[in-house]
Amino acid sequence: MERTLSIIKPDAVKKNLIGDITKKFADEGFRIVAMKMIHMSKREAQGFYYVHTKRPFFDSLTDFMSSGPCVVMALEREDAIAKNREIMGATNPAEAAEGTFRKMYADNIEQNAVHGSDAPETAKFEIGYFFSGLEQF
C-alpha cells in the first residue's frame, strides 16, 4: 500500500466537482485516509510549491492556489502515486488523455483542476504539510 496527496484545486471546487472527483477515486480503489477543505494563504501556497520557487509561473500559480478553497486528501492504494497521476492526466489539459480529470475539467495548464504527488518523498512531504499523524486514518 502507498499513500499520495491529492488536491482538488480552487477552479474545480468552484465548478462543484468535489463529488465527481471523489467518486472516481472510490471507483478506482483509493481509500481516503485524510480529507479537509481549506483556503490557503499566499504564504501557505508558496510553502507547498517551494520546489517551483524559481519557475516563471510561481507567483501566478500561488495566487491561483490561494484564490479560493480547495480540498486536500491523502489517498491510499497499491501504486497510489502513479495511479493518481494516470487518472489526473498531463499537466497541460491540451495534452491530457481522454477521460482524465484534467482533460475533462481543466481550463488551462495553470488552472488544471487537481494536484497529485509525483514520487514517494514528495508524497511524504506533501501529506505532512497538511495533515498531522492524528489526522490520518
Segment 116 to 135, residues that bind ligand ADP, using CB under 6 A: 118
Applying CB under 6 A, does 57 fall inside the site for ligand ADP?
yes
Partner in contact with 112, chosen from ligand ADP, Mg ion, none, beta carbon below 5 to 8 Å by kind: ligand ADP
Q: Could you say which of 3, 115, 127, 131 is catalytic?
A: 115
Min separation Cβ 137 and ligand ADP, Å: 25
Q: What is the C-alpha separation between 31 and 29, in angstroms, rounded?
A: 7
Applying CB under 6 A, does 91 fall inside the site for ligand ADP?
yes
Write phi, then psi, for 57 (nearest 5 degrees): -90, 5
Handedness of CA 67, 82, 126, 90 (dihedral sign): negative
Segment 10 to 49, residues that bind ligand ADP, using CB under 6 A: none
Could you tell me what percentage of the chain is helix, strand and coil, using 3-state DSSP and rounding each to the nearest 5?
A: 45, 20, 35
Catalytic residues: 115
